[in-house]
């Protein structure tokens, strides 16, 4: 697996330090809310980030899961993805924190934010581990960002290529010859 890596973009140690900083910031905000926080996380890329993050949050919380799928035949940016499946506690009047691995075009988080908003929570914030430089659109607000990364395809720490590499403990680029010709 490690032989497939071209370059480490964010080290295990840097991730650990930054996730702890984000957790401190988030705990400070939601620690003040009696009702705690309901985290809504986007499967499957954010699983590793989520599990490290929530174990550093000494506050009352629930976790809900959503999945977003792409579908063909639509060309506009806000379409083309939909909230496919959800296992959610009641969000009405809750303080919701959406957690995702990476924001690139923002299409995924736009759909998740709209879906959550339609369930009339008290508040919505969004946390992402990675943001692709210069790509995140203004209508998709993100409150906590782990790292801004250059616009290259990365894997590891939950992020996959063709389902693989989620278990890498760092974030990295793959050797170019590994990408399928058809991908
Ligand atoms: P967006 O909808 O913001 O364009 O893209 C978000 C989704 O695309 C992410 O949740 C992730 O699943 C996928 N994605 C975007 N950039 C990357 C990347 O560099 N590496 C991987 N593995 N997935 C990415
Ligand atoms: Mg994702």
**Ligand that comes closest to the CA of residue 172:** 1
At 164, list the tokens: 């693989």
Over residues 68-76, the mean pLDDT reads 60
Helix 47-54 / helix 12-30 crossing angle, nearest 10 deg: 60
- Among all residues, which ones are annotated catalytic? 104
Give the strand pairing for 123-132 and 61-70.
unpaired
The predicted-structure confidence for 48-64, as pLDDT tens digits, reads as follows 999 999 999 999 999 99
Give the closest residue (by CA) to ligand 1 atom 16: 104
Q: Which of 99, 108, 151, 164 to mutate to test the pocket of ligand 1 (most atoms within 8 A of CB)?
A: 108
Q: For atom 15 of ligand 1, which residue has the closest CA?
A: 104
pLDDT, averaged across the chain: 90
pLDDT of residue 83: 81
Q: How far, in Å, from the CA of 171 to the mean position of ligand 2?
A: 15
Q: How far is the CA of 12 from the centre of ligand 2 (A)?
A: 20
- Which tokens hold the place of 121? 């929570």
User: Residues with beta carbon < 5 A to ion ligand 2?
Assistant: 45, 101
102 and 45 in contact (C-beta within 8 Å)? Answer: yes
Dist. CA 127 → ligand 2 center (Å): 12
Question: What does 29-85 look like in DSSP terms, one character per residue?
Answer: HHTT-TT-EEEEEEETTTHHHHHHHHTT--S-EEEEEEEEEE-SS--STTSSEEEEE
Tell me, in angstroms, the distance from the centre of ligand 2 to residue 44's CA. Answer: 6
Q: pLDDT tens-digit profile of 88-124?
A: 889 999 999 999 999 999 989 999 999 999 999 999 9
């Amino acid at each position: 697996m490690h032989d497939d890596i071209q370059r480490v973009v964010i080290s295990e140690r840097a991730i650990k330090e930054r996730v702890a900083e984000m957790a401190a910031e988030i705990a400070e905000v939601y620690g003040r809310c009696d009702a705690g926080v309901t985290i809504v996380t986007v499967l499957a890329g954010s699983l590793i980030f989520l599990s490290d993050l929530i174990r550093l949050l000494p506050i009352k919380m629930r976790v809900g899961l959503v999945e977003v799928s792409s579908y063909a035949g639509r060309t506009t940016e806000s379409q083309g993805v939909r909230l496919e499946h959800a296992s959610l506690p009641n969000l009405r009047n809750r303080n919701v924190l959406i957690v995702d691995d990476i924001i690139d075009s923002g299409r995924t988080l736009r759909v998740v934010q709209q879906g959550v908003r339609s369930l009339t929570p008290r508040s919505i914030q969004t946390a992402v581990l990675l943001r692709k430089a210069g790509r995140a659109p203004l209508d998709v607000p993100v409150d906590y960002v782990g790292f801004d990364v250059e616009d290259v395809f990365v894997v590891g720490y939950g992020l996959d290529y063709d389902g693989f590499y989620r278990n890498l403990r760092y974030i990295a680029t793959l050797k170019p010859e590994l990408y399928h010709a058809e991908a």
